[in-house]
Structure 1
């Protein structure tokens, strides 16, 4: 036991805990960024629902209610003593010695794992399984529970996917994954396009306003006329607008985008003339919304090439979705530059948005993996491996 310098006129006694050898390594120091520190200070004593996620093959991440953070160990040049009050008023007990600091930084959630976990579980017309015929309020029998084996549940995804609950919810919406009786089912793109086109047609035939349409009327119509379950219809409406118990306020751009992607998917290998594609797209969404079907809605999902032999030269569109490119930046840039040797700045940007948290990080990736060329026609990017 050692006696420290006087503090406030009274000496403080320092002592190592008799169990400090056993407790060594039990404590970790976590350095919080300003936003996390603020959430602690402003929660008024309410419990925080943070979680550290990651299996033995993954780097651990810290997940809050709405964000994901990487965790990185930093060695300290000076040891930090972990201490607490002793039994005596003037005594402090040293419980551990720490030589590292855990730093956290915002990262993108690892929701890409959903694709592999849900492969082969698509919900498509004519492929509704036994468990999908159950109503949510019914008690599942043992055989029905057995039928669910092999499906990924929402609870399993929340525990196993390195993402906050808010990010997981957004991923399910963005990736068009249905939640049916507790299990996750990605809806087939063609079936989704069919449902959206039926909703658009029903809005017109039922004389419903797109910003205040009756949820029940639309869901009942699709069930009666096309045998589409209301539970599915309502979730689809939720993906493409705001839904309450009675009304659907449709987000026109997101609906038009999805219908456009559904058409564009047929042209992965054989390009389609831009004018022909626009005619198909606008015909699919109907006269009411045709004027708002603009190619800018499909940014990051297609490539443009010119057909020089046509008179006048025409643009050709090829389906090329950023969602199918590698998530690792080096592999992403490799695929992009294998597809094209050089990209205009405005063309490559949409294919990087899903691997960068913000524009600043996107610019860092371009600086690291690409070479900028400034020409009278604008800025182009080429691979750094090109001499």
Structure 2
């Protein structure tokens, strides 16, 4: 009988085969055992997984839709690696056939343990930092420099961000990034405000309905006003939703999203001020016909009562770290104690596989409640 791995796999019950150390036995650091769930195995066999991470990072394994941490697990048992008969050594400068005798299974390595996969959240923190290097402020601004420094293609980002392709797309969508001339960019808020204001001006001029904007009508007009089709479609996509109808692509602007955008712009300009003054300016700034309320700005503003007045200032969840430990640390640096109604908007987007929102609170906060009917207070653990 042959002595390769095939023999061991086909070994009958209550039978045996001699095992020996082959002449190629050694550490073979290039060979690592990896335990894979049956559901993931087809993606490995079809070459649909990738290891991602830069030299100073712990590597992760990504499928098309999920990210997994790689964890080494030691074992007290002796695990012998026996290659198939006729197998060639891996990683050698010159390939040599590994000896496998007919009378014994030839061992090439004693494995001290194996790697396990643990589902984790994607590491998207670096994404916004990279794209902020060259915020898009218009074609004229880009023309001033031929350098591609600070510009990133999809592949550039995939090589640097520890996330699956699906998670990376979601991350780009969450920060309102857009692909312009092959590079993914963040659009300057001032440029986006000008574009949005012009779009609503054209709504009045041409009698368009904000909930029924025909793409074939909107694009030519906005292009004539000096905006590229890519940027106009990005504005529509960021501030609304698209439907496929007989007359073509029809967009519906989300007035709440538009109102929040203008609210953030006012908060960014005014700093800390009385709520009543902020509301007056916000109402003046938003396009005509759009109603505003403080409830729209959950996760975008902090309020504080000083005397008889309520003061507000910008504090956006989008500016906070995406990892739970760093997120809670930042929140408790801002305030030592949080009521749940004020804390919840700033942790709503946190997602950790295997850990619920309640679990996150138990891990990172200390909850106090003076009386049964009092609102719970959360402080740092």
- Give me the whole-angstrom Cα distance separating, in 1, the residues matched to 2:295 and 2:70: 37
- Give me the whole-angstrom Cα distance separating, in 1, the residues matched to 2:341 and 2:214: 40
Deviations 1:198-253 (A, max 9, x none): 3344345434444542223222222212x111121112323334457941433514
- Give me the whole-angstrom Cα distance separating, in 1, the residues matched to 2:218 and 2:35: 51
Q: How far does residue 276 in structure 1 lie from its aligned partner after superposition?
A: 4.4
Q: Does the aligned pair in 1 maintain the 2:124–2:322 contact within 8 Å?
A: no
Q: How far does residue 102 in structure 1 lie from its aligned partner after superposition?
A: 2.0
Q: How far does residue 335 in structure 1 lie from its aligned partner after superposition?
A: 3.0
The 3-state SS of whatever aligns with 1:317 is strand
Deviations 1:292-334 (A, max 9, x none): x444443222112224334xxxx33210112223445444333
Matching residue of 2:184: 184
Normalised by the length of structure 1, the TM-score is: 0.78
Matching residue of 1:20: 25
Matching residue of 2:198: 198
Report the aligned-residue RMSD: 3.5
The 3-state SS of whatever aligns with 1:80 is strand
CA 1:8–1:101 in 2, change beyond 3 Å: closer, same or farther? closer
Which consecutive unaligned segments of at least 5 residues does structure 2 have?
A: 87-100
Equivalent pairs counted in the alignment come to 356
2:126 is equivalent to residue 129 of structure 1 = no
Equivalent of 1:247, from 231, 246, 249?
249
Q: How far does residue 165 in structure 1 lie from its aligned partner after superposition?
A: 1.7
Equivalent of 1:345, from 331, 340, 345?
340
Q: How far does residue 373 in structure 1 lie from its aligned partner after superposition?
A: 0.7
2:369 is equivalent to residue 381 of structure 1 = no
2:367 is equivalent to residue 372 of structure 1 = yes
Which consecutive unaligned segments of at least 5 residues does structure 1 have?
A: 132-143
- Give me the whole-angstrom Cα distance separating, in 2, the residues matched to 1:84 and 1:180: 50
Mean Cα deviation higher: 149-158 or 52-61: 149-158
Q: Does the aligned pair in 2 maintain the 1:72–1:104 contact within 8 Å?
A: yes
Matching residue of 2:260: 257
Normalised by the length of structure 2, the TM-score is: 0.79
CA 1:101–1:298 in 2, change beyond 3 Å: closer, same or farther? farther
Deviations 1:264-286 (A, max 9, x none): 3224x32341x444454455444
The 3-state SS of whatever aligns with 2:308 is coil
Q: Does the aligned pair in 2 maintain the 1:197–1:284 contact within 8 Å?
A: no
Q: How far does residue 22 in structure 1 lie from its aligned partner after superposition?
A: 5.9
2:119 is equivalent to residue 114 of structure 1 = no
Q: How far does residue 258 in structure 1 lie from its aligned partner after superposition?
A: 2.7
- Give me the whole-angstrom Cα distance separating, in 2, the residues matched to 1:288 and 1:98: 70
